[in-house]
Amino acid sequence: MRGARVYLLLAGAAFRAEFQYRGNLFINIIGGLFYQGVGLAFIWAVLDRFGQVGGWGLAEIAFLYGIRLTAHGLWLLPGHQLIHVDEVVIEGDYDRYLVRPVPPLVQLLTRRVRLSSLGDLAGGVVLLSIASASAPVDWSPGAVCFLLLAVVGGALVEGSLQLAASALVFRMKRVSPIKFAIDMIFSDFGNYPLKIFGPVAGFGLTFVFPLAFVAYLPATVLMERGEELAVPEWLAWGAPAIGVVLMYAAYRFWERQSRHYESSGH
């Protein structure tokens, strides 16, 4: 409870600080929307030409894309500052977080807010709302619940990978290339039905790099296409739980690795 209160307190401060530069606000949000819009336009162009990708039409892919993008925005809003973990650790700014009665990770995540993540989230929500209406899903209350859980789980899966990669900073000093690579995999592979990449990549993107749990598995079972999956359906229904487990493991890993923090100068 105290944790949540402290988080809101610090996040509020970061928002107030950001509003000192009000001009940035709209530019950032629009920038975020635009960036993701380009990705969607690309898929639309592909589908317009080929009609279907792996048996999925525009409505199905837009639904998958909507889940992925909303999960991405949902993670980015609180998690964006991890992008600066290199500089914070190398320059020794992390020192300050270690002498306050608040978990250092919370302080790192609330050091600033990047409002462009609001653009990602807004874009995701709008797309997901529209796509949900046209996607072949039987919207029972249970299905709606599962969709919400899946989006949160997807945010946790992406966040856990970024957090685990960030935790390497304490030993490796420079991890942004790794994190950039993770981000690339998410945006390059995350928006398509994974089966089009073949069984090997499908296996890898499920069990080695758990991308499938973000959007592909939940979207597939919601659209009752479970039979085309290479994994049992119950695993797809369990995607939100996988997110929770991964995030817990990533946080433990972060805590352990942070003991290797060396500060700057001696």
Partner 1 sequence: MPVIEVADLVKEFSRPTRQEGRFAGLRTLLTREQTVKRAVDGVNFTVQQGEMVGYLGPNGAGKSTTIKMLTGILVPTSGTVTVAGATPWRDRSRNARRIGVVFGQRSQLWWDLPLRDSLWLISRLYDVPEARFRERQRQFSEVLGLGPFLDTPVRQLSLGQRMRGDLAAAMLYDPDILYLDEPTVGLDVIAKERIRTFVGELNRASGTTVVLTTHDLDDVEELCGRIILIDHGKVAYDGAVDELKARYAPHRELVVQTDRLESVEGAEVVRREDGKVWLRFDPVRTPPAELVAAVLERHRVTDLSIVEPELESVIHRIYADRG
Residues that bind partner 1 in the complex, under the rule CB under 8 A = 6, 9-10, 13, 16-18, 20, 92-93, 95-96, 98-102, 259-263, 265-266
Nearest distance from residue 168's CB to partner 1, in Å? 15
- Token pair 């020192």 is found at 95
Nearest distance from residue 12's CB to partner 1, in Å? 9
Nearest to 71 by CA among 125, 152, 11: 152
**Cβ closest to partner 1, residue 6 vs residue 182:** 6
Question: φ, ψ for residue 91 (rounded to 5)?
Answer: -80, 0
Residues 6+ apart with CB under 8 A from 65: 39, 40, 43, 127, 131, 191, 215
**Cβ closest to partner 1, residue 11 vs residue 241:** 11
Nearest distance from residue 4's CB to partner 1, in Å? 13
CA atoms within 13 A on the CB side of 214: 33
**Cβ closest to partner 1, residue 14 vs residue 241:** 14
**Cβ closest to partner 1, residue 129 vs residue 263:** 263
Residue 164 vs residues 28, 107, 137, 175, 193: alpha-carbon distances, Å? 27, 17, 34, 10, 26
Nearest distance from residue 133's CB to partner 1, in Å? 42
